Structure 1
């Protein structure tokens, strides 16, 4: 009788960019698709699209020296896909609020205008308060954005596209900001977005060990 033994599949290495398969490494969301047992992709169905977009940006804007610190967060996005439209608005508000105080003036203006327009459309008092607190830190930018919106801007396009633009501008703005540790701020933003999704779905955070045991 011949006894065969299977070799355990090695876990992929977290790295920047897209990868053809796990043997070549994995970005944050490719790793999530791997853990979820989905088809290999950086856009797995198990995660809310805007949260996935944020995670890809944070992964790619984090250096190799610190990217491993994101790994414990990967299992928490698996299956995290709130149905409420307000989740996209909240992720965008969180991102803009994190970037507004430290981004370049050009990005501050874009973020302030996008943030004001988004919270008007969301019509959610809590998100409006978060936005107001963030805008109060950059009063000149806030006044510019309000003039712009009142004079030359009309809200067009989908809510999703507006939120995606805010999130991407925010992550790049944080990464390029003249601050001591932008990578920690990017990680904190991703954590805040995950926690918002967990609250919205009333879901307890999943640890890597638990996910691997349950899969």
Structure 2
């Protein structure tokens, strides 16, 4: 199996993270921000890659080919991805982080309501149930002054990546024995959802390319 490491790398000789290997397998220039994957999904993959330990990171490797080609311009996808991250973080994050996760979750809901023409305060049943599990964080988030409508462009560029990063770091720092497993599962689950949202099935990789990737990352 290819070997993943934390952070950004100039070349395969220096190491490789999840999205850098995705760029290589997609035939793009070496980069941790390749064009083959939706930017927010790629952001989640980088965050998960950097927050898990070496054993859990090895479990990410089979997911790399699956993100190639997962891209589209539906503005709802940013809110959908960010919502999955916040939903995963809210029940396990430390109490001081739960308010931030709840705010992020409500921002996702309001962006989706705006894009889909629903009332401002409508909540998806999953969101409502998850918020009801943490009433203090829920009530604090509802009073947060920054919960306006905003634009989908601003949400995609700033809010959604911040929500994902905060959720991943919150899960990583949570006082639970399986935080790495939760992060791997979050990324795998989100990739599966993105395949549905983009109506895309991964293209099988040739064995020669995979062997080349293994050789390239072995030290």
TM-score normalised by the chain length of structure 2: 0.84
C-alpha separation between the residues in 2 aligned to 1:56 and 1:139?
A: 31
C-alpha separation between the residues in 2 aligned to 1:117 and 1:135?
A: 13
Q: 2:201 — aligned with what?
A: 204
C-alpha separation between the residues in 1 aligned to 2:81 and 2:135?
A: 22
123-132 or 42-51, which deviates more: 123-132
8 Å CA contact 1:29, 1:42 repeated in 2: yes
C-alpha separation between the residues in 2 aligned to 1:70 and 1:117?
A: 29
Give runs of ≥4 in structure 1 deviating > 6 Å: none
Structure 1 gaps, min length 5:
1-10
**Residue 80 of structure 2: which of 90, 96, 100 is its match?**
90
Q: 2:166 — aligned with what?
A: 169
Higher relative contact order (CA 8 A, sep 6+): 2
After superposition, the C-alpha distances for 1:46-101 in whole angstroms (9 at most, x for unaligned) are 00000000000000001112211100000000111132111111110000000001
TM-score normalised by the chain length of structure 1: 0.85
User: SS in structure 2 opposite 1:94?
Assistant: helix
Quick one: structure 1 residues 178 and 59, their matched pair in 2 at CA, closer, same or farther if it must change by over 3 Å?
A: same
Q: 1:153 — aligned with what?
A: 146
Counting matched residue pairs gives 199
Give how far 1:205 is off: 4.1
20-29 or 112-121, which deviates more: 112-121
Quick one: structure 1 residues 205 and 129, their matched pair in 2 at CA, closer, same or farther if it must change by over 3 Å?
A: farther
**Residue 138 of structure 2: which of 127, 139, 142 is its match?**
142
8 Å CA contact 1:35, 1:75 repeated in 2: yes
Structure 2 gaps, min length 5:
210-219
